[in-house]
Amino acid sequence: MPTVQSAAASSGDENLPFVSILIAAYNEAADIEATLANKQELDYPSDRIEVLVISDESEDGTDDIVRRFSAQASIPVRLYRQCPRQGKTAGLNTLVPAAKGSILLFSDANSHWDRQAVRHLVRCFDDPSTGYVTGKMVYVNDDGSLVGDGCSAYMKYENWLREKETELGSIVGVDGGIDAMRKDLYQPLRADQLPDFVQPLKVIEQGYRVVYQPRALLQESALDDGGSEFSMRVRVSLRAMWALKDMRHLMNPFTYGIFAIQLISHKLLRYAAFLPLATFSLAALLLAGRGGIYSLGFIGAVAFYVLAWIGHTKTEGNQATSVILTVPYYFLLLNYASLKAAISFLKGEKKVVWNPRKG
């Protein structure tokens, strides 16, 4: 990409650090070529960037696509194969020692980044207290337009929280599809640990900040059925609960101050939100006959569940929906997923097998 290189040279980009983009892939033949092409188009000096892909024993031709693409790529693309299948976390543990960059960037196999994304992420490391940076994910429809309902509303709320948490010091929770960290802070994780959750906490543990950079944009396709979204949320919630158990010492406010309060309120209480929700619903049912505010509470609860059910049926039928339907539906989907994950957690179950998210 000579035009990019000449532009880089004219703007003094010789001081930019070498970066390594790490991608774990399992049966991603449908998406991996477009993702690699997207990384080739990034506005970053081609002599200071590389892409490392680890195939988790893919069986659908993913490896052949990566090899073919690397042969004509303008920036280095290296393929590694993990056999037997061990999951994303183990794959990243393998890639990191092979990475040449002082900054590691993490991308999903279906993640499309804005051309300026790497520059925005890297710039955050000018602050020596910053150890980990996450970008902003937006969901898009097949035509590229932004999704404007349930899961998008949830992400808007999460991103607002991240902006406020960055102002406080560190954020709680990252996207995983557009992240960056200092290589020397990376710590190998167990195969059953969720890297998008545990690795940033490990950075906090080492005394560095985890921050949000909203100008580093990631576009991912929205899931087109509630079943896929629900399964993904159960899987992520379960692994997050185990991560909270592993890193529970970070919830000590006497040692970690405000961040401990953030971790408790943003994550622990969020995954336990189904408890007050169930309590309120049961109380509204039992107290409805007393009239007054109790009857209003019952009517409101019934209306909320009805709207959620309509949102569910319309989503399952691929029908157009409004925010008044999709927000209640997605809210209940998240809490039901947390309930199911909590039951599995209490049983001691762990989902080690990795199935990449699709949106």
- pLDDT of 150 above 50: no
- pLDDT of 296 above 60: yes
Question: Could you tell me the two tokens for 315?
Answer: 């989503």
- pLDDT of 65 above 80: yes
Other CB atoms within a 10 A radius of the CB of residue 102 amount to: 14
Question: What would the mean pLDDT of 306-321 be, rounded to a whole number?
Answer: 82
Q: What is the DSSP string of 242-256?
A: HHHHHTGGGG-HHHH
Band (pLDDT 50/70/90 cuts) for residue 7 is very low
Band (pLDDT 50/70/90 cuts) for residue 149 is very low
Percentage of the chain lying above the pLDDT 90 cut = 66
Band (pLDDT 50/70/90 cuts) for residue 315 is confident
Band (pLDDT 50/70/90 cuts) for residue 135 is very high
Q: What is the DSSP string of 242-311?
A: HHHHHTGGGG-HHHHHHHHHHHIIIIIHHHTTHHHHHHHHHHHHHHGGG-THHHHHHHHHHHHHHHHHHH
Strands 77-81, 49-55: pairing kind: parallel
| Residue for token pair 């993640």 | 111
**Bridge partners, residue 25, by sequence:** 55
Band (pLDDT 50/70/90 cuts) for residue 323 is confident
Higher per-residue confidence, 133 vs 86: 133
Question: What would the mean pLDDT of 283-306 be, rounded to a whole number?
Answer: 91
Contact 27, 58 (CB under 8 A): yes
Percentage of the chain lying above the pLDDT 70 cut = 87
pLDDT tens digit string along 103-130?
Answer: 999 999 989 999 999 999 999 999 999 9
Q: What is the DSSP string of 155-221?
A: HHHHHHHHHHHHHHS--S---SSEEEEEGGG-----TTS-HHHHHHHHHHHTT-EEEEEEEEEEEEE
Most confident of 99-108, 142-151, 228-237: 99-108
Band (pLDDT 50/70/90 cuts) for residue 312 is confident
- What is the pTM for the complete model shown? 0.84
Determine the Cα–Cα distance for residues 47 and 18; give it in Å rounded to an integer: 8
pLDDT computed for residue 13 by the predictor? 77
pLDDT tens digit string along 210-230?
Answer: 999 999 998 876 655 556 778
- pLDDT of 4 above 80: no
